[in-house]
Structures are given as structure tokens and as C-alpha cells.
């Protein structure tokens, strides 16, 4: 059984972490499958949105500590002096950050450690009422190794990020909403319905324009304003020549819904 399931509905691809008996704890195989699936989908012109979720009652409980303590899997403890063998260039958090395709997280149940960072790495998060984010790193003797130290201060500010990380605190879905860590909280039974509705709304727009917008938002994290204006202008030129731009203008003038092709 694959540890990452893929299902496509129209222009939306759903990736499901699939170790429900272990609350989707991260294994080496899952890391490899998740990275390769995301890279594959990012180059698939028919996919306009990627949704990430977990099978069963939890999103992801983090790295598999059972495997680690038995000298298997990520972070195996058999050789204390040796770091775990990971290629960070192809690790899911790095791949997730580099995707041009918009990513949504359907946050079902708990997301701890690595799982929390995966959720925060998505562009948008829709949380079930039962969802929780657990920054359990310092309680396990590690630090947020999968993007959390970069993501959290940008999402909630330095002081709040420090409080969450240093205490190893677990946040309820409502606390996450108040902090701006999730976009919305919905009843558990409506999680996928609401997430898919949002994904389909995004997918109905011109995909090249959506992806260019995402690239520019990512670049703006390190650009100064003048450089960013120049960069945006260069992204705008090919959009002006696209079929989707003409379709968007024509549909507006004809007072109808546009039908974008991604060209």
C-alpha cells in the first residue's frame, strides 16, 4: 500500500498521507513518495491546485519515533554521533516551498512536529474543529527542522513564534484561527467538502496568473520594493500575451464566466 495516495478531481489533486495506524507518522518511504508526487504534480498542466491531507483521525504525528528508537527510519538512534541521512534539497518542506502550484492543507486532527511544519508550509489551511498544531520539538530534544523556524515568525511574528516554539505548546483549532495559522475552521464532517470548494474556486481562475502571483509573493519575502516592482513587470509581460488574458477580458465584456485553458 502506498504511503501517499493520489486522487485527481478535475483540476484538483489530493495527496493523502496514508499511515493511519501510526497517525501518519513520517517514514523515509513517505518522505520520498511525498516529494516525488509533489514534483510530478507541479509539472502537470492539468493540475491547478494541490490539496494535502491525512488518512484516518490525524493529519501527521511527525517523524516516526518508534522507528527511530528501533534504529530504523528517519533520525535513527543507533549511531548517536551520526546525523540522519537526509537530502534537504528534495525533502518535502523544501519541495513544498518551491512549488508554483497553489497548495491547500485539509487539516484533519493533530499535526505535530514535522506534521505541523508540513501544514504551515502549505499556502492555505482549512482546519477541522478537532485539528491541533503541536510544536512538540523542544519537548523531544530537537528544533523545528522542517521549516518551522522560518515559517512561524513570518506567520505570527517573532514574539508569538518564540512562545509557541520555546514552550512546545499544542494549539487548538480555535487558537490557530485567532493567531492566523489557519484560514478557517469547519466541522470535521465538512472538512474535505469545504477544502475542495475552495480548491475548485482557485482552480477556476487563470492558472498561469495564479502561479505567477504565488512566485511573486514568494520572491517578495526577500526582495526590496523597487526590485520587486521590476520582477513583477517581467512576469506580467507574458501574461498579456496569453490566451487566458484574452479570455478573461472577453468574458468580462460579455458578462460570462471565463473558461481558462492555462495557455
Question: Are 224 and 123 within one domain?
Answer: no
- Structural domain of 223: 207-253
Domain boundary among 187, 203, 219: 203
Domain boundary among 203, 220, 245: 203
Q: Above 80 in pLDDT, residue 61?
A: yes
With respect to residue 258, please indicate whether it lies within any of the assigned structural domains. Answer: no
Question: Are 43 and 168 within one domain?
Answer: yes
- Could you give phi then psi for residue 180, rounded to 5 degrees? 85, 15
Report the DSSP beta bridge partners of residue 134.
Answer: 112, 170
Q: Above 80 in pLDDT, residue 74?
A: no
Question: Are 186 and 229 within one domain?
Answer: no
Residues near 8 by beta carbon (within 8 Å), at least 6 away in sequence: 14, 46, 47
With respect to residue 90, please indicate whether it lies within any of the assigned structural domains. Answer: yes
pLDDT digits (tens, 9 = 90+) for 34-55: 999 999 999 999 999 999 999 9
Residue 108: name the closest of 15, 188, 179 by CA: 188
Question: Are 247 and 196 within one domain?
Answer: no
With respect to residue 260, please indicate whether it lies within any of the assigned structural domains. Answer: no
pLDDT digits (tens, 9 = 90+) for 124-169: 999 999 999 999 988 888 888 888 999 999 999 999 999 999 999 9
- Could you give phi then psi for residue 84, rounded to 5 degrees? -65, 145
Q: What is the pLDDT of residue 76?
A: 47
Q: What angle, rounded to 10 degrees, do the helices at 114-121 and 148-156 form? A: 50
Q: What is the pLDDT of residue 1?
A: 77
pLDDT digits (tens, 9 = 90+) for 85-130: 556 667 888 999 999 999 999 999 999 999 999 999 999 999 999 9
Instruction: Name the pTM for this structure.
Output: 0.90
Question: Are 131 and 239 within one domain?
Answer: no
Q: What is the CATH number of the domain that holds 77?
A: 3.90.226.10
Q: What is the pLDDT of residue 84?
A: 53
Question: Are 109 and 36 within one domain?
Answer: yes
With residues binned 3-state (H G I as helix, E B as strand, rest as coil), the percentages for the chain, rounded to 5, are: 50, 15, 35
pLDDT digits (tens, 9 = 90+) for 221-244: 999 999 999 999 999 999 999 999
Rounded to 5°, angle at Cα 114 from 161 and 22: 135
Question: Are 164 and 239 within one domain?
Answer: no
pLDDT digits (tens, 9 = 90+) for 168-184: 999 999 999 999 999 99
For a pLDDT cut of 90, what percent of the chain falls above it?
82
Helix (H, G, I), strand (E, B) or coil at 103: strand
For residue 109, what is its C-alpha cell? 486532527
Burial of 115 (0-12, 13-18, 19+ CB in 10 A): buried
Q: What is the pLDDT of residue 124?
A: 98
Query: CA 217, CA 178: separation in Å to the nearest integer?
Result: 23
With respect to residue 120, please indicate whether it lies within any of the assigned structural domains. Answer: yes
Mean pLDDT along residues 209-217: 97
Question: Are 46 and 143 within one domain?
Answer: yes
Q: Cα separations (Å) of 158 from 6, 133, 161, 243?
A: 36, 18, 5, 43
Helix (H, G, I), strand (E, B) or coil at 55: coil
- Tally of domains in the chain: 2
Q: Above 50 in pLDDT, residue 77?
A: no
With respect to residue 262, please indicate whether it lies within any of the assigned structural domains. Answer: no
* Average pLDDT of the chain, as a whole number: 91
With respect to residue 114, please indicate whether it lies within any of the assigned structural domains. Answer: yes
Question: Are 154 and 238 within one domain?
Answer: no
Query: CA 50, CA 121: separation in Å to the nearest integer?
Result: 12
Question: Are 140 and 188 within one domain?
Answer: yes
| Terminal CA-CA length for the chain | 37
With respect to residue 130, please indicate whether it lies within any of the assigned structural domains. Answer: yes
- Write the secondary structure of 106-137 as one string of H (helix), E (strand) and C (coil): EECCEEECHHHHHHHHCCEEEEECCCEEECCC
Question: Are 100 and 183 within one domain?
Answer: yes
Q: What is the pLDDT of residue 219?
A: 95
Question: Are 108 and 88 within one domain?
Answer: yes
How many Cα atoms occupy the beta-carbon half-sphere of 224 within 13 Å? Answer: 2
Amino acid at each position: 500500500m502506498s504511503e501517499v495516495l493520489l486522487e485527481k478531481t478535475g483540476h484538483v489533486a489530493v495527496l493523502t498521507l496514508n499511515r493511519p495506524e501510526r497517525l501518519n507518522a513520517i517514514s523515509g518511504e513517505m518522505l520520498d513518495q511525498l516529494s516525488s508526487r509533489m514534483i510530478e504534480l507541479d509539472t502537470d498542466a492539468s493540475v491547478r491546485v494541490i490539496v494535502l491531507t491525512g488518512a484516518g483521525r490525524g493529519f501527521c504525528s511527525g517523524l516516526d519515533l518508534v522507528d527511530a528508537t528501533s534504529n530504523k527510519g528517519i533520525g535513527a538512534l543507533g549511531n548517536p554521533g551520526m546525523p540522519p541521512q537526509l537530502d534537504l534539497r528534495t525533502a518535502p518542506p523544501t519541495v513544498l516551498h518551491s512549488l508554483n502550484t497553489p497548495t491547500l492543507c485539509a487539516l484533519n486532527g493533530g499535526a505535530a512536529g514535522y506534521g505541523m511544519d508540513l501544514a504551515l508550509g502549505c499556502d492555505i489551511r482549512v482546519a477541522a474543529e478537532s485539528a491541533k498544531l503541536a510544536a512538540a520539538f523542544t519537548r523531544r530534544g530537537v528544533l523545528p527542522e522542517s521549516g518551522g523556524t522560518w515559517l512561524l515568525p513570518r506567520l505570527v511574528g517573532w514574539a508569538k513564534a518564540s512562545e509557541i516554539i520555546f514552550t512546545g505548546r499544542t494549539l487548538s483549532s480555535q487558537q490557530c484561527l485567532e493567531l492566523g495559522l489557519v484560514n478557517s475552521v469547519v466541522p470535521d464532517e465538512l472538512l474535505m467538502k469545504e477544502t475542495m470548494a475552495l480548491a475548485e474556486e482557485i482552480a477556476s481562475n487563470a492558472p498561469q496568473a495564479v502561479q505567477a502571483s504565488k512566485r511573486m509573493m514568494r520572491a517578495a519575502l526577500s526582495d526590496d520594493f523597487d526590485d520587486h516592482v521590476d520582477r513583477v513587470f517581467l512576469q506580467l509581460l507574458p501574461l498579456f500575451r496569453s490566451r487566458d488574458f484574452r479570455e478573461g477580458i472577453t468574458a468580462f465584456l460579455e458578462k460570462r464566466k471565463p473558461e481558462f485553458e492555462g495557455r
